[in-house]
Amino acid sequence: MMIMRVMLVVVLGLMSGGGWAETQKEGAHHVHKHQAPWRIHTLFSVECQNYFDWQTVGLMRSFKKSRQPGPITRLLSCTEQERKSYRGMDLAPTLEVPSMSRHPKTGDWYPAINKPAGIVHWLQHSKDAQNVDWVVILDADMIIRGPIIPWELGAEKGRPVAAYYGYLVGCDNILAKLHTKHPEVCDKVGGLLVMHINDLRALAPMWLSKTEEVREDRAHWATNYTGDIYGQGWISEMYGYSFGAAEVELRHKINNNLMIYPGYIPQEGVEPILMHYGLPFSVGNWSFSKLDHHEDNIVYDCNRLFPEPPYPREVNQIETAPDKMRALFLNIECINTLNEGLLLQHAANGCPKPEWSKYLSFLRSKAFAELTGPKLLTPKTLQMIDEEPHAQVVDEPHVQAVEEAHVQAVDEPAKPHPKIHTIFSTECNSYFDWQTVGLVHSFHQSGQPGNITRLLSCTDEDLKQYKGHHLAPTHYVPSMSRHPLTGDWYPAINKPAAVLHWLNHVQTDAEYIVILDADMIIRGPITPWEFKAARGRPVSTPYGYLIGCDNELAKLHTRHPEACDKVGGVIIMHINDLRKFALLWLHKTEEVRADRSHWSRNITGDVYESGWISEMYGYSFGAAELNLRHQISNEILIYPGYVPVPGVKYRVFHYGLEFRVGNWSFDKANWIHTDVVNNCGAKFPEPPDPSTLDHSDDDSLQRDLLSIECVKTLNEALHLHHERSKCNVPSPLSIPKQDSSETTISRKFGKVEEIHNLGLNTTQRNDSQEISPPDGPNQTFSSMRFWIISVWVFSILGFVIIMSLVLSGRKGQKKRGKVYKPKRRSSYSGVWDTNGHDRHLRSSEIP
C-alpha cells in the first residue's frame, strides 16, 4: 500500500510536468513521516568562539536524537586570526564563511550580520544548495526535540513557516514604511524558519541588504521604533529578515507553539519540537543562563559538564500542577541534552573515561533515553496564530486519530496566553536577602508562569562585600538611595529607578510584567488573563490610605487628578504601557519627595510624615499622567493578620505589618540587621501548631492559618537554601505532633520554646538554629519559669526521699561507715547533675 502511494505521487508529479519539489501539496499527506519525499537541509550560523562551540555540541546531539531528516551544516564565520587558533572544526559538518563581524565597507562591528551573510555564501558556494528542496534555519542556542518536516508543519512554496517574535514592533510603525515597499506584509517572525529553496534564493540577498540598511539607520534605533530595549540596533538582522521577506512579498504561516523558551509553560495539548534557551531558566534553586558561559571552555575541558539539574523524581516533588510540571521537565531536558552532548564530545576528544557518578549513570540510562526521544507533532502544536482550530488542516494520515479528538475541541481559544515576566526590587543587604529567598521559593512553588528577576540596587562599595549574588536571577542596578543630584537619602526610589534601568538594558519577549515587593509570598499564579489586565488597563491591588489622590496633592502633581488610583503592592501591566510609564513613575517620585511642604499626614496619609511613601504616590501620579486607569482587585493580596473574605483564594501574602497568633508574633522590622541567610541553619521562630488554634471562631481561625502559612513558607525556603548551601540541616519542621516535643533554648535572649517534631523520635536533636530578633518581648518566659521552678522543687523532694531511704537502710548493717560514703556520693552526684542543669537553665534567662 505504501509503495502504491509513493508511485501515485510520482505519477502526479510527472503529469504536472514538475519534479518532487513541485508536488509537495498533493502528495505530502500520503507519505509516512519517517520517509522524506523531498530533500531537507538544516542550517545554523556560528562564530569561532567557545560560546558557540558548546551550543553547537548541544544542537548536534539533539539533531541526531530527534532523527531530523537530511544533512545539517554549520555556517562558521571566522576572521583569519580566529581561524588560526580555532579548535572546533570537527564539532559539526561545516562550511567556512568569511566573517562580516567587522563590516568590510563601513567598519561597523555587528556579528549578527554573519547569519544572512552565511546563508548567501552557502547558496552561492555549497553543492548542497543545488541538491535540496526545503531548508530549515535554526539558531545555535536551540535543542531539537522532534523532526522538523516542512510539509508536516504546513509550509508551502511561497508560504514559509516561522516562529512568532512579537517584540518586532517596527513592523507596525514608521520603521517598516522606511525600509520596505510592502509594510503591510511585514511579519513578526524569527527563530525557526522553514522555507522552500526557491523562496530562500529570492529572500537571502534582500535579508542581507535590509540588515545593512536597518543597521545604518541609527536615527531609528530607539526602543519605541524597534522594541530593542538596548536601543543599539542589535536586532537589525531580525528586521532585515522581516523587511526582506516583505520586499519579496513572502507571507509566513506564523506558529507560536512549535518553539518554546525553557521556563515557559506549554499550552495543554501542545508538544513543542524546538527549545530556544536564549533566556535564563530555573528549576527550584537550580538555574541556567547561557550568558554565564560566554567564554566557557567546557567543550575542551575534559569531563566537565554544566551543573546538574534536579532529577525527574525531584521535579515531581517541586511541582504538582501538571502543566507547571511539564514546563520543569522541559527545563531539565534542555540542560541534560546539552550535558549528554558534552559527555560524548569529550569522549570523541580522547578524554579519559569519567569517574562513575549518579548523574552520569542517569544520562546513560534507558529512562533518560525515553524521556528525550523524538516528539511527535499534535494538532494543537500545528495551530497557527489567528487560525481557528476548526479550520486547521493537518496533512498527516498518522495523526488521524488525534485529529478526530481535536474536532471535539473546536471551542478552545486559538491564541496562546501572553508571556509573563515577574520582577521585584531589592538592595544589597541581609534584610532583603531573606525576603528574596522567601519570594523566589514561593515563586517556584506557586506555578507562576514565566521567569523572575531580582532588580538589585547596590553602591559599588556594597557590591564588593555582597554575598547574595546567587539567591535569584539578578539584574544589577546602580543605587539611587542617595540621590545623585539632591543628596536626599530615600532608598524607596530604587524601585522605579530599577524598573526603568531593567527596561532599558534587558531584552524581554514578555507581553506582561508582574511587579512585586520583596516582602511578599506568592501562593498561586498572578496572570493577566485571570485578572483581566489589558493594554492600557493594568491591574493592581487597593492601597486605600493614599488619600493624596483625593486632595490637593494630586492636583499639584498630575494634570489628571481624577485618574489617580489608590493602588500598589501587586502590579500587572502590559510591557508597552510600562515602557511609557516607568520614567514618569521615577520623575513623579522625585517630585513628590521634593515637595516637603505636603508631607503631613492629613495630606498624604503617611503616619510618619517623612515623605516615606513618595514612591507610592509617584506610581499613582505617573499612571494618572498617562490616564492609565487600573482594574483594582481585592482578591490578589492579603496582609497576614487580616481576616480573609470567605471563598477568596488570595495569591500573595504581603507581610509588611506585624501579625500575631496568640502569644506568638512576627514583624519583619525586627529582622533588619539579622543575617538569617548566611547563618547556617537559621530560621524564624516557628508559629503555633494549627491544631492548637481556637476553632470556635472561623474568621479568627482562617486568619491565623494564613499567618502560620506565611512564616512556615519563609522557614521552608530558608531550610532549602541552607540545604543547597551544603549546610548540615535536618528536614524542615512540618505540622507538629502533640506527644513528641523537645525544648530548645535561646541563650542570648532567654527564650525557651517548646517545639514539636513530626516524624522524629524524642532522642533526635534539632540542629537548626532558630534565631530570635534583636528586640522584642519575651513571650514565653513567664510560663516557662513556672515549669523550671517546678522541676527544681521536684528535684529537692527527690533528694530528700533518696536521703531518707539511704539513712533508713543503714539500720541492721554491721559496717555502716564504709557503706554510707559511696551511697552518699552516688546520691549526691545525681542531685548535683539535676541542680547543675537547673542552674544552666536559669543562667540562660539572664539577658
pLDDT in tens, 680-702: 999 999 999 999 999 999 999 99
Q: What mean pLDDT is predicted for residues 32-36? A: 46
Grid coordinates representing 543 are 492601597
d(CA 704, CA 714): 16
* Average pLDDT of span 555-562: 95
258 half-sphere exposure, CB direction, 13 A CA radius:
29
Asked if 230 and 306 sit in the same domain, the reply is: no
Average pLDDT, integer, range 583-593: 96
Q: For position 795, what pLDDT does the model report? A: 65
Per-residue pLDDT tens digits for 173-200: 999 999 999 999 999 999 999 999 999 9
pLDDT of residue 800: 63
Indicate the residue among 414, 447, 470 that finishes a domain: 414
pLDDT for 621 beyond 60: yes
Domain membership of residue 650 (yes or no) is: no
What confidence tens digit (pLDDT) does each residue in 403-449 have? 333 333 333 333 568 999 999 999 999 999 999 999 999 999 998 99
Here the cell at position 15 is 503529469
**pLDDT, mean of residues 288-299:** 92
Residue 645 domain flag: no
- Whether 510 and 621 map to the same domain: the answer is yes
Say which range, 40-44, 164-168, 297-301, 757-761, has the weakest mean pLDDT.
757-761
Same domain, 554 and 440: yes
Q: For residue 366, count CB atoms less than 10 angstroms from its CB and return exposed for 0-12, middle for 13-18, buried for 19 or more.
A: exposed
pLDDT band of residue 224 (cuts 50, 70, 90) is confident
Neighbour count for residue 699 (Cβ, 10 Å):
10
Pair 21, 46 in one domain: no
Per the domain annotation, does 173 fall within a domain? yes
Question: Residue 29 has what DSSP assignment?
Answer: G
In a domain, 649, yes or no: no
| Percent of the chain residues past pLDDT 90, beyond the cut | 70
Shared-domain flag, residues 775 and 787: no
Going by C-alpha positions, the residue among 270, 282, 224 that lies closest to residue 413 is 270
Radius of gyration of the chain (CA): 33
What is the model's pLDDT at position 799?
66
- Whether residues 487 and 630 share a domain: the answer is yes
Closest of 152, 144, 160, 157 to residue 33, by C-alpha: 152
Residue 350, Cβ density class (10 Å: 0-12 exposed, 13-18 middle, ≥19 buried): exposed
| The pLDDT of residue 846 is above 70 | no
pLDDT for the residue 247? 95
Q: Which of 150, 379, 118 is nearest to 257 (CA)?
A: 379
Count Cβ neighbours within 10 Å for each residue of 290-325 and write b for 16 or more, e otherwise. Answer: beebeebebbbeeeebbebbbbbeebeebbeeeebb
The answer to whether residue 731 scores a pLDDT higher than 70 is: no
Confidence at 385, pLDDT banded by 50, 70, 90? confident
From residue 1, give the alpha-carbon distance in Å to each of 7, 31, 201, 595: 10, 11, 37, 84
Written as nine digits, the cell of 462 is 556594597
pLDDT at 747 over 50: no
For residue 727, pLDDT beyond 80: no
For the segment 224-244, the average pLDDT, to the nearest whole number, is: 90
Shared domain for 582 and 674, answered yes or no, is: no
**791-818: b (≥16 Cβ within 10 Å) or e:** ebeebeeebeebeeeeeeeeeeeeeeee
The x, y and z cell numbers of residue 578, run together, are 510600562
Kindly state whether residues 272 and 176 are assigned to the same domain. no
Within 381-507, residue ranges assigned H as helices are 400-407, 430-446, 460-465, 494-505
Question: Closest Cα to residue 517, out of 565, 570, 468?
Answer: 570
**Separation in Å, CA 828 to CA 142, 823, 824:** 77, 8, 6
Domain residues for the domain of 538 are 420-637
Q: Residue 24 has which C-alpha cell?
A: 509537495
Counting the structural domains of the chain, the total is 6
The average pLDDT across 632-643 equals: 96
754 grid coordinates: 517548646
Q: How far apart are CA 555 and CA 550, in angstroms?
A: 9
Point out the domain boundary residue: 231, 253, 275: 253
Mean pLDDT within 483-504: 95
Task: Identify whether residues 522 and 603 lie together within a single domain.
Answer: yes
Residue pair 31/37 in contact by the 8 Å Cβ criterion = yes
Q: Cα 82 from chain centroid?
A: 36
Mean pLDDT of 221-234: 85
Which amino acid is it at 730?
P
Assign 14 a pLDDT band (cuts: 50, 70, 90).
very low
Asked if the structure places residue 631 within a domain, the reply is yes
Residue 8 belongs to a domain = yes
Q: Check which CATH number belongs to the domain holding 491 and give it.
A: 3.90.550.10
Kindly report, residue by residue over 329-375, the tens digit of the pLDDT. 999 999 999 999 999 999 999 999 999 999 999 999 998 998 899 99
Provide the edge-to-edge strand list for the sheet that holds 142-144: 142-144, 274-276, 259-260
Mean pLDDT to the nearest integer, 814-831: 35
> Rounded to an integer, what is the distance from CA 819 to the centroid of its chain?
75
CA atoms within 13 A on the CB side of 340: 22
Q: Does 653 reside within a domain?
A: no
Structure confidence at residue 805 as a pLDDT band (50, 70, 90): low
Is residue 492 domain-shared with residue 528, that is, in the same domain? Answer: yes
Burial class (CB in 10 A: 0-12, 13-18, 19+), 835: middle
Residues β-bridged to residue 453: 423
> pLDDT value at position 558?
95
Query: By CB neighbour count within 10 A (0-12 exposed, 13-18 middle, 19+ buried), where does 386 fall?
Result: exposed
Three-class SS of residue 654?
strand
464 has a pLDDT exceeding 70: yes
Assess whether pLDDT exceeds 80 at residue 806: no
- Is the pTM higher than 0.75? no
**One domain, residues 766 and 793:** no
Q: Where a domain ends, among 733, 755, 779?
A: 779
Share the mean pLDDT of the chain: 82
Q: Are residues 262 and 375 in the same domain?
A: yes
Q: Is 134 part of any domain?
A: yes
